[in-house]
Amino acid sequence: MARTKLLRDAVVILGAGTQGRRLAYMWSSTGKPVHLVDRQEKQLSEGIDYVQQLRASPSAISKNWGNITTSSPDRLNSALQQAWLAIECVPENINLKRTVISELDAIAPEQTIIASNSSSYVISEIIEPLTLKNPARVLSAHCYWPPETPAIEIMGHDQTDPSIIELMLNQSQKHGFSPYHVKSTSIGYIYNRIWAAIKRETLLALHEGVATPKEIDAIFKDVLKTPRGPCELMDVVGLDVVLDIENHYADSRKGLPIEPRQYLDNMIKEGKLGFKNRRGFYEYPS
């Protein structure tokens, strides 16, 4: 699937949640159109409002914004006919992601790249049971918290066309991302794989009574000069999400200690989910 230029100029994003709306902001930064697709009208309207807030910020990454069109899934086929890239940003449920990837592969034009933004599932395990007509155009394009954290990790599978990887790296950079190529299949990509070890050791230290969350965060920030410590960051992510990710690592890698997952599970049973419900390692004002 050799590519010398983009045959279409739009990007389709499925899912208008936290990541979907942030990606709509990034991919519309060069004046090209974006189609934001979601079943919930409320998500779409809130997503557009949020993009407008980002665009109005003094730190906005562009002055030449593309139009963002919102639509329900019943207009997905029409939106895809104009797209060089379709990104799934649906909730972190592997069966849902498989359904979405299958649908995109069935109806998207031959030259449309299909990307998953999954944080915990690599593209090879998402598509493993699927029969796709064109697996060469499918890859992972996982980003963190754009635009504040513009890193995006591009990872293919054993059938991904190398020219698509190159195109994604180039286009990501043009749209304000900092692209990184994950050169072999890696659960956790690059950063999350390293971050997983930090989370796990933090939870193990807490389980063993080595220090309090406040003390762990304080020494972490003191040594590495980071704005947040690991407990604060886990609160931001959501402790239920952190546990889901840890369970996925444990299913994929034998020998990981169970105590960190037990510690998280006990916190969740106590109703501590992190910043999302104002109770986690710390208490947050409403």
Longest dimension (CA), the chain: 58
The whole-number pLDDT of residue 1 equals: 47
d(CA 168, CA 23): 14
The whole-number pLDDT of residue 7 equals: 73
Domain final residue pick, 182, 210, 235: 182
Q: What number is the average pLDDT over the span 131-154?
A: 96
Q: Identify the DSSP state of 225.
A: -
Strands (E) located in the chain: 10-14, 34-37, 68-71, 83-88, 113-116, 138-145, 149-155, 178-182
Instruction: Give the number of domains in the chain.
Output: 2
138 occurs within a structural domain: yes
146 and 203 in a single domain? The answer is no
The token pair at 195 is 């971050």
The whole-number pLDDT of residue 234 equals: 97
170 occurs within a structural domain: yes
Q: What number is the average pLDDT over the span 212-241?
A: 96
In Å, how far are 19, 23, 32, 33, 117 from 42, measured between CA atoms?
15, 18, 24, 21, 22
For the chain, give the percent of residues with pLDDT over 70.
Answer: 98
52 occurs within a structural domain: yes
Q: What number is the average pLDDT over the span 237-247?
A: 92
Asked if residue 53 has pLDDT above 80, the reply is: yes
Q: What number is the average pLDDT over the span 98-106?
A: 98
Q: How confident is the model at residue 85 (pLDDT cuts 50, 70, 90)?
A: very high
| CATH code of the domain in which 255 resides | 1.10.1040.10
Contact indicator for 85, 57 with CB cutoff of 8 Å: no
18 and 157 in a single domain? The answer is yes
Which residue did the predictor score with more confidence, 5 or 134? 134
23 and 85 in a single domain? The answer is yes
Distance from the first to the final alpha carbon of the chain: 52
Asked if residue 178 has pLDDT above 90, the reply is: yes
d(CA 11, CA 127): 21
135 and 263 in a single domain? The answer is no
115 and 253 in a single domain? The answer is no
209 and 110 in a single domain? The answer is no
Q: What number is the average pLDDT over the span 109-124?
A: 95
Instruction: Give the full edge-to-edge strand order of the sheet including 83-88.
Output: 68-71, 34-37, 10-14, 83-88, 113-116, 138-145, 149-155, 178-182
205 and 261 in a single domain? The answer is yes
| CATH code of the domain in which 95 resides | 3.40.50.720
222 and 253 in a single domain? The answer is yes
Q: What number is the average pLDDT over the span 171-186?
A: 97
285 occurs within a structural domain: no
Window from 31-40, 109-118, 210-219, 245-254 with minimum mean pLDDT? 245-254
267 and 203 in a single domain? The answer is yes
155 and 56 in a single domain? The answer is yes
Asked if residue 54 has pLDDT above 50, the reply is: yes
**Domain that residue 150 falls in:** 10-182
**Strand 138-145 to 149-155 pairing:** antiparallel
The whole-number pLDDT of residue 4 equals: 45
105 and 172 in a single domain? The answer is yes
Rg (CA), the chain: 20
The whole-number pLDDT of residue 16 equals: 97
218 and 81 in a single domain? The answer is no
pTM of the model: 0.87
Contact indicator for 117, 19 with CB cutoff of 8 Å: yes
Q: What number is the average pLDDT over the span 109-127?
A: 95
The whole-number pLDDT of residue 5 equals: 62
> CA-based angle 39:136:164, to the nearest 5?
85
Residue 142 DSSP SS3: strand
